[in-house]
Amino acid sequence: MATGFFWDEKCFWHSGGNYAFTLPVGGLVQPLAAGGLPESPETKRRLRTLMEVTGLTRDLDMRSADMATREDLLRVHPETYLDEFKRLSDTGGGELGRRTPFGAGGYEIAALSAGLAKEAVRAVHAGELENAYALSRPPGHHCLPDFPNGFCLLANIAIAIEAAKTDQGLGRVAVLDWDVHHGNGTEAIYYGRDDVLSISIHQEGNYPLDSGFIEDRGRGAGLGYNMNIPLPAGAGHTAYLAVLDEIVLPALERYQPDMIIVACGFDASAIDPLARMLATAQTFRDMTLRIKDAASRLCDGKLVLVHEGGYSEVYVPFCGHATLEALSGSTITAPDPMAEPLKIRQPGPRFDAFLREVIADQADIFDALPEG
């Protein structure tokens, strides 16, 4: 069975508003020549283009999908929010939340982005594909049911999970969010539930500023099923792998999911403009291999990665290519042109020892997770 890769050119046509980086243009903020938010289509388009140039696309099952239906969206988002989003989208576009502008037809593009994730989850759960990657855009992990933020307009992963639960009887799902920003939307949606384990690894105090704390572990039936792993700025390759080995993999073992979904951002990379971490393409390759191995032991290999952030137009393609190589087991590779300089810039032994302590201190959040 093949690895599916879900993408659609229309998702690259989602347009941000009149921004210069994350600042609205106006006053003393001059428009950029190649303007717009950092969430640009180029990071994603260049990933797909690189895969085509190396030939990796020929080892994958390349597919598109239908838009998520209104019924799909209503399982996660209130009618009032969807109506207002659709109304603005039909009348030229606008902005509903914080840093989430969209152009005319933005509603349909966001529904397609969610549809790619939905179809990836459906096909993997149905056993049509070994595993899958959804190149969703706009991203989804920050989106609350009624408030879009952080470039996210619909909660793609939650929409996909809820559709598979309704249509296919999908059981327990573990969502691992390694985007460098806190997965506050996924957390909010599943905070009171035990049928979805939500784990977020993120840079502490980055975005959103007021969430992602270790103490936030869920409530009611969901108590223990929300895990936040904030890391200090500067964490690199060994820290990320240590978090996986010491916290995430044992948590997955204990939870015994029926499917693992990764909120796959590449903004923990060393040259991302929206974060201060030091992960490399090799980090993403190694994390993917570890999660793929966990999925094969725990849930018949059922694993779906859904694209989130990652804002280096030059480096995201190499991180993504390494991830897709690992996911598919393809031998077609795109050697990381920044491997050497980024290796030299990894944390030194003293900061590494500090990071080890931070990670060891957090291991108790895993103890709060009830046995599966």
* 16 in contact with Zn ion (CB under 5 A): no
**Distance of alpha carbon 17 from alpha carbon 101, whole angstroms:** 5
| Of 44, 99, 122, 181, the one binding Zn ion by CB under 5 A | 181
177 binds Zn ion (CB under 5 A): no
Judged by CB, which is closer to Zn ion: 67, or 229?
229
Q: Which is nearer to Zn ion, 236 or 265 (CB)?
A: 265
- Find the shortest distance in angstroms from Cβ 258 to Zn ion: 27
Q: Distance between CA 123 and CA 174 in Å, rounded?
A: 17
* Location of structure tokens 């049911």: 145
Please, where are the H alpha helices in the chain?
A: 41-54, 70-74, 79-90, 106-125, 156-168, 184-190, 237-243, 249-255, 281-298, 316-328, 339-344, 349-362, 364-367
Peptide bond into 370 cis (omega under 30): no
In the list 101, 309, 317, 320, the residue contacting Zn ion (rule: CB under 5 A) is 309
In the complex with Zn ion, the residue whose CB is nearer, 314 or 360, is 314
Burial degree of 74 (CB within 10 A; 0-12, 13-18, 19+): middle
Judged by CB, which is closer to Zn ion: 162, or 267? 267
Q: Does 212 bind Zn ion (CB under 5 A)?
A: no
Shortest Cβ 115–Zn ion spacing (Å): 21
**Binding flag, residue 267, Zn ion (CB under 5 A):** yes
How many angstroms separate the first and last alpha carbons of the chain? Answer: 29
Q: Does 179 interact with Zn ion (rule: CB under 5 A)?
A: yes
Min. distance of Cβ 43 from Zn ion in angstroms?
11
Active site residues: 142
Q: Does 265 bind Zn ion (CB under 5 A)?
A: yes
Q: Which stretch binds Zn ion (CB under 5 A): 17-25, 46-54, 218-226, 263-271?
A: 263-271
Whether the link from the prior residue into 208 is cis, omega within 30° of 0, is yes
Residues forming the site for Zn ion (CB under 5 A): 179, 181, 265, 267, 309
